[in-house]
Structure 1
Amino acid sequence: MSLEKTMTLARTMSLETTQAITKTLSQVPVPPLPEWINRLMAGSNQYGANAFDRSFIVLGLTMYMVGLVMVASSSIPVAERLFNNPFHFVIRHGIYIGLSLAVAGVALQIPMSWWHKNSSYLLGFAIVLLVTVLLIGRSVNGSTRWIVLGPITVQAAEPAKLFFFCYLSAYLVRRREQVMENLKGFIKPLIVFGVMAALLLLQPDLGTVIVMFVTTFGLLFLAGAKLWQFIAMALVGATSLGMLAYFEPYRWRRVTSFLDPWQDPFGSGYQLTQSLMAYGRGEVLGQGLGNSIQKLEYLPEAHTDFVMAVLAEEFGFVGISVVLLLSMTLVYKALILGRYALAKEKYFEGFLAYSIGIWMCFQAAVNIGASAGIVPTKGLTMPLISYGGSSMIIMTLALVLLIRIDHEIRLQSIQATSSKRATKKELKSITKQNGDK
């Protein structure tokens, strides 16, 4: 046999062998990929066929329970002295949680289109609340922030934040190109913010103004405004906040006492030094539930603005880390939801989810930072944990809006998938009928 015939025979045998092996391998059942890999490859954050993301509810209820336990632990001494009932604040906090769940049940039935359509009316209602509190509001510790409605007190600044973010999200849907292209579109929402900030400063409530400013700043950045506009906005904002602090004696005392609270530990630095003692006593694992000393009326506002200091004393670094992890997870999911909503061209829902995520993140950071001496004291509650009915209800409403956004996106995806399947079935039916003919 010649060399050429030998090589031809070898190539033929090799080809036949390869085909046989390929045929054999094709008949071997291949195990399916894990579901999480399929989701990752699909580039979607829609997990399964659930109507909504249940992890939002798990996170919210977990933070409710942590807050209820810590309010119970930190408020008993002061409740015993003021009301001769050690469970006064615990009972009220439980009622607030019940009201929050009732509001959540109603809000879940409201479509996001309603919030979009009525965003201007909600903004008007927020401004009316801020004016009303200045006229007939109740003053506590020199601040007029609460409207008394029988046994209920409403802190007007809390709904004002959420309703302003609804308005800002709707504005960015209508005027996004103007925001990105010219100064006029960028300035308009800042004028509205300036009006609300002026009303808040008359209470006075600088903390809420800072939260709204940072959220507005972040949302305009995500909407695509130009870099020079942000630099100018940051400079103006920082200068204004500095002037507001410098020309108001009590605010300036807070700033200076924050820088060195031990300089006057029984005066302007008293609250922060007591809070730092609580953090120091907590160490890694804490002193145990109920074993805080600072809550025995050494630390003022232990169950409201400084509840995290008591948590740090009783559960230590581990307890603070768990709460931070819960808050970070909730914020992360809100931001991811916002990105996914924008990808699905649901712009109002996307911007609103972004604003809620930024708002919760910054407010939690300021609350924990103030109690740990990282930032000046601002009187902001810890979302879903601190005592306070208005804050609890509004934060729950914000969480419900995230759930509703997630639900509508999933519903849209399910409807689109069903429509595609129906179209494929119709095409197959038509093809079959044409083939029969």
Structure 2
Amino acid sequence: MSAPQTTDSPVLEAARRARTAAADLAPAPRTLRDAALAAIADALTARTDEIVAANAEDVSAARAAGTPESVVDRLTLTPERVAAIASDVRDVIALPDPVGEVLRGSTLPNGLELRQVRVPLGVVGIIYEARPNVTVDAAALCLKSGNAVLLRGSSSAHASNTALVAVLRDAVTEAGLPADVVQLVPGQSRESVTELMRARGLVDVLIPRGGASLIKTVVEQSTVPVIETGTGNCHVYVDERADLETALAILVNSKAQRPSVCNAAETVLVHEGIADAFLPRALDALAQAGVTVHGDKAWQQAGGETVVPATDDDWAAEYLSYDIAAAVVPSLDAAVEHIRTHSSGHTEAIVTTDTAAARRFTALVDSAAVMVNASTRFTDGSQFGFGAEIGISTQKLHARGPMGLPELTSTKYVVTGDGHIRR
């Protein structure tokens, strides 16, 4: 498809520069791309004070605007978080290079040699909310996989993202790559997002990261192909044959270890056969962790006034806070039915000592990740060994689950002949 005609639009001009930079980046050897990533990690460490100072402007403005603390937490960068981001970049350097990997190959009966190889997508646009760490994660994974990246963060993180992208561009230039392989999309208005979504022919794919409203808008209004990431209404199901100590540890970790992220549990389902023994202990453990339970009648009877009566809205809620919906179910199949009805398709967990129950749960639950006797918090590119992730896809085409380097590539067929002609 041909690119849009020349225009003075800053967004489309940035996309054109990204396309030119992507063409230069695609044939660059791994050594050059890895050198750029090393330069980025070093620069993040060296310029931490500058980054944290810019971030403090965004955090101060967010608090003054009455932004919920769960969102402020996502927005905040500390020296420790910047160091962790730099460490993630270094982890990406060590990952296998997907570009050029041969997925399959054969010699056809007519002597033609056929190979399917991984190639960069080209220009990747990322539209995301108040998560400045995404700025670096996305840039690192796109560079490693040979893609130019256009970053459109929220206005609430503009100072942070501006500082981070300045660091990234300086670093890649120092390494010998074009600065325009990493760009912040110009403008803070909704119009700039719309222009990015309509830049078909210049931008190869868009990846939205954020709440349900943002994702829905991008999926429904974009003319550029979209890889859909999803919200995280994650469930923990405590089976009749669960070990109580294991179940308590997994439940509290899934909910309270960091409640403001998409892989935190938002609903707990408990088999009625274990409810009398488990609910009092679960209520105590959740209370100690500062979690408010929004429960059905069984949870209300067990917890009294400490339990908020659950409404229909609670079962579909992505709280991103110290809140959890809770229900007692009569069977594993009832738990599965509840999950099918209300889940966002992100991550579900079963806690059980019954191998058959675990197998049935994993077979019936259709989410991007299904955990057996493990916290939902493990659905993460870094935890899966992929390095920093570009997002967690809840769709079923091309990419599903934590999206690492392979998911940022496409393929092409290379066919080699010796003067072959078709007859």
Q: TM-score, normalised by structure 1?
A: 0.22
Pick the structure with more strand per residue. Answer: 2
Larger radius of gyration: 1
Pick the structure with more helix per residue. Answer: 1
